């Protein structure tokens, strides 16, 4: 995988002022922080680095990107519904990807496409279909940036398999399916875990830019 790029159909955004991006695609939301972006912009200006202007062929430089995956809700049950006011407020203020689709069903092939640019031929929620393949985490690290994957109810860092209480299932954690992450225990344990194991996750908002990795899932 030379470049991580997977798109089933063109993605269009409704743009709004400010350096904030929101993508809501069925159950995927990617958000960036304006406060951190402002600090980065100030550092660039102090260093004499020009800020790139937005055009249809380029994207703003975001200092932090969050990918938040919410399971099992269709687009039509969220967008425009009165019982989801917060998500709809984000859409109205920032942006909405109206032609961004899942690859298929069940869950795992979508997660693999999200992090590896391919389903790798996976058509089920298998637990041992590991892949020796480049992935999004590899590209993030190669660019000199940091990342972490916070998995709700994960029993321990780099936990393999489903949790005994059934609250965490491996199929929702695609990073464990890549050999170069799963078999490197130090790398795996420091990048995939429940938020409770991370001090940085609970840092005050004023320290957010210093505490959080540049990409969070």
Assess if residue 175 is contained within a domain: yes
pLDDT digits (tens, 9 = 90+) for 10-57: 333 333 333 223 333 323 333 333 334 444 444 445 545 444 444 556
77/115 same-domain check: no
86/115 same-domain check: no
Average pLDDT over residues 182-187: 95
Q: For the chain, what is the domain count?
A: 2
Average pLDDT over residues 51-67: 67
142/168 same-domain check: yes
Q: What is the pLDDT of residue 196?
A: 57
Choose one of 50, 83, 102: the last residue of a domain. Answer: 102
Assess if residue 132 is contained within a domain: yes
User: Worst-scoring range by mean pLDDT, 34-38, 61-65, 70-74, 140-144?
Assistant: 34-38
> From residue 168, how far is each of 153, 155, 178, 194 by CA, in Å?
5, 8, 18, 10
Q: What is the pLDDT of residue 169?
A: 94
Structure tokens that stand for 87 in this block:
């998500």
Most confident of 59-68, 95-104, 138-147: 138-147
Residue range of the domain that includes 44? 9-102
Assess if residue 189 is contained within a domain: yes
Q: What percent of the chain has pLDDT over 90?
A: 42
Assess if residue 216 is contained within a domain: no
* Long-range contacts of the stretch 6-12 (C-beta < 8 A, 24+): 6/113, 6/114, 6/117, 6/118, 7/100, 8/100, 8/101, 8/103, 9/99, 9/100, 9/101, 10/99, 11/97, 11/99, 11/100, 12/97, 12/98, 12/99
Q: What percent of the chain has pLDDT over 70?
A: 65
17/98 same-domain check: yes
User: Worst-scoring range by mean pLDDT, 32-36, 84-88, 100-104, 148-152?
Assistant: 32-36
pLDDT digits (tens, 9 = 90+) for 73-86: 888 899 999 999 99
95/139 same-domain check: no
Q: What is the pLDDT of residue 35?
A: 37
111 or 38, which is more confident = 111
């Amino acid at each position: 995988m030379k470049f991580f790029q997977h798109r089933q159909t063109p993605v269009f955004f409704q743009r709004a002022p400010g350096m904030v991006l929101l993508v809501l695609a069925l159950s995927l939301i990617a958000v960036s922080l304006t406060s951190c972006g402002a600090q980065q912009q100030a550092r660039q200006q102090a260093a004499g680095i020009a800020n790139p202007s937005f055009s249809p062929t380029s994207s703003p430089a975001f200092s932090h990107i969050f990918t938040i995956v919410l399971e099992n809700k269709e687009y039509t049950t969220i967008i425009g519904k009165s019982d989801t006011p917060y998500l709809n407020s984000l859409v109205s203020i920032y942006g909405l990807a109206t032609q961004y689709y899942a690859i298929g069903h069940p869950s795992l092939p979508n997660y693999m496409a999200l992090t590896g640019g391919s389903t790798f031929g996976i058509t089920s929620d298998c637990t041992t279909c590991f892949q020796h393949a480049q992935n999004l985490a590899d590209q993030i690290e190669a660019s000199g940036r940091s990342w972490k994957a916070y998995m709700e109810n994960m029993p321990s860092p780099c936990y393999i398999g489903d949790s005994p209480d059934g609250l965490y299932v491996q199929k929702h954690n695609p990073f464990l399916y890549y050999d170069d992450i799963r078999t490197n225990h130090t790398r795996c344990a420091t990048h995939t875990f429940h938020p409770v194991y991370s001090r940085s996750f609970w840092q005050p908002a004023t320290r957010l830019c210093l505490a959080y990795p540049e990409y969070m899932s």
